[in-house]
Amino acid sequence: MTKTATATPGPLLLSPGDHALLMIDHQSQMAFATKSIDITLLRTNVALVAQAARGFATPTILTTVAAKSFSGPIFSELTDALPDVEISDRTSMNSWEDAAVIARVNAIGKDRLVIAGLWTSVCIVGPVLSALDQGFEVYVITDACGDTSEEAHERAVTRMVQAGAHPMTALQYLLELQRDWARTDTYATTTGIAAVHGGAYGIGIAYATAMFGGSEAHG
């Protein structure tokens, strides 16, 4: 039978109000040993995600592990973008085993979670596999994660995908929330974030605006 296409988005696409964002253990000590991604790029991607969460009013959970005794402060890119979001400090490597974090997940009440953090193979695999086991739909922003080696990061991502998680990138996250340039209420927010944190794409936006007054929506 011939399929009939309709101009509607698929249910697997993210929307601003349909998920909670968990940013886990983006901390100094964890970053020191991260080798799977350049730390400057990691911080740029974290900033992009945090700014997207603020711009689209996405409910966000920030959590650290042993902040005062070992792992140090959370990235300033997160606190600068989300100054009013409480930071939950834990002792457990798996944040899903922390009652305070789970209370915040339940208070937000979203069945769809987007997760990123350090390290991929420990502090991200733990909550992702745990959430999947409890029936949550989970997306992982893989380039806002990092690990002690490329091997550790890639094996962790493979393991999570095999369990049912959906991988994506930081820029993909931002653009998927916008999705339509005719959404003028968030157009400037999206292009503004991309211009600062979107790498070559952001440079292109800045160039088009400066040279031609161009926009995604109006060519």
125 within 8 A of 160, measured Cβ to Cβ = yes
For the record, the structure tokens of 112 come out as 């769809």
150 within 8 A of 123, measured Cβ to Cβ = no
Q: Is 145 a catalytic residue?
A: no
Give the residue among 105, 130, 119, 84 at the shortest CA–CA distance from 19: 105
27 within 8 A of 67, measured Cβ to Cβ = yes
Give the residue among 119, 157, 163 at the shortest CA–CA distance from 137: 163
> Residue 90 in 3-state DSSP?
strand
120 within 8 A of 153, measured Cβ to Cβ = yes
Active-site choice (123, 145, 160, 175): 123
> Residue 162 in 3-state DSSP?
helix
52 within 8 A of 58, measured Cβ to Cβ = yes
Active-site residues, by number, are 123
